[in-house]
Amino acid sequence: MNLSVKEAARLLSVSEKTIYRWIQKEVIPAYRIHEQYRFNRAELMEWATSRRVGATPESLLSPVTPASPQISLGAALEAGGIFYRISGSSRDKVLADIVTHLRLADGIDRDKLLKLLIVRENLCSTGIGNGIALPHLRNPGILPISRATVTLCFLENKVDFHALDGLPVDTLFTIMAPDLPAHLFLYARLNYLLQRPSLRRVLAIPGGREEILTTLRTEEAALRI
């Protein structure tokens, strides 16, 4: 909880009045602490990006600081892998099966990771609409993740993720990042590219691993950011 209403308004380029209106409508992730509202920066930027609030935050489409290493979404997906026919009749069971597929370093507690992913979903669904969800940790860096990965999973059956549009989910990109800047970058870039018709088409089929990777890399290269 590290942002005030004033800071949130400045970050999203809107008025404080607009922030309060969103709070009253319960559409923005906010927390009331000691009679004041506070915001988690990562949650706020995820919310803004997924709902296209204001302009696309270009600061998230490129490394956060000059010292940050360049992150390639294509490389992160190749490292994380693409998996088909993930089983599970509920959200939590699907997440449990996904966790078994994640390419994690030795020593990472997968049971703890699953619990953290479920906690994140209980706070606010990571379903971004059109049958797609982006599960991830609420606080990147809480586990010793050594490299940024994105794991794409296609479900055997559609599952309710309580997405904003009410549609069940069958395609999930699980983001694992070593820190907040890497997480925000991958989240924003992936969310942005998922609007591209060519990528949406290959995901809807779903296409083969090489076809998906090639399409994503092509769209990412076209960003020129």
- The domain ranges of the chain are 5-60, 73-223
Tokens of 77: 């997906």
Catalytic one of 34, 101, 136, 162: 136
Radius of gyration of the chain (CA): 17
Per-residue pLDDT of the chain (225 residues; tens, 9 = 90+): 578 999 999 888 899 999 999 998 878 888 888 888 988 777 887 788 777 665 444 444 554 444 445 689 999 999 999 999 999 999 999 999 999 999 999 889 999 999 999 999 998 889 988 999 999 998 888 899 989 999 999 999 999 999 878 899 999 999 999 988 888 889 888 988 998 999 999 999 999 999 999 999 999 999 865
User: Using CA atoms, how far apart are residues 150 and 136, in angstroms rounded to an integer?
Assistant: 10
Half-sphere exposure at residue 138, Cβ-oriented, CA atoms within 13 angstroms: 16
The pTM score is: 0.81
The CATH classification number of 73-223 equals 3.40.930.10
Q: Name, in order, each residue with C-beta under 8 angstroms of 80's C-beta and a sequence gap of 6 or more.
A: 102, 103, 149, 150, 151, 152, 174, 176
Contact between residue 152 and residue 82 where contact means Cβ atoms under 8 Å apart? yes
Q: Which of 89, 90, 107, 112 is nearest to 99 (CA)?
A: 112
Catalytic annotation present for 136: yes
- Distance in angstroms (rounded) separating the CA atoms of residues 33 and 30: 10
In sequence order, which ranges of 81-208 are alpha helices (DSSP H)?
91-101, 110-123, 180-193, 197-204
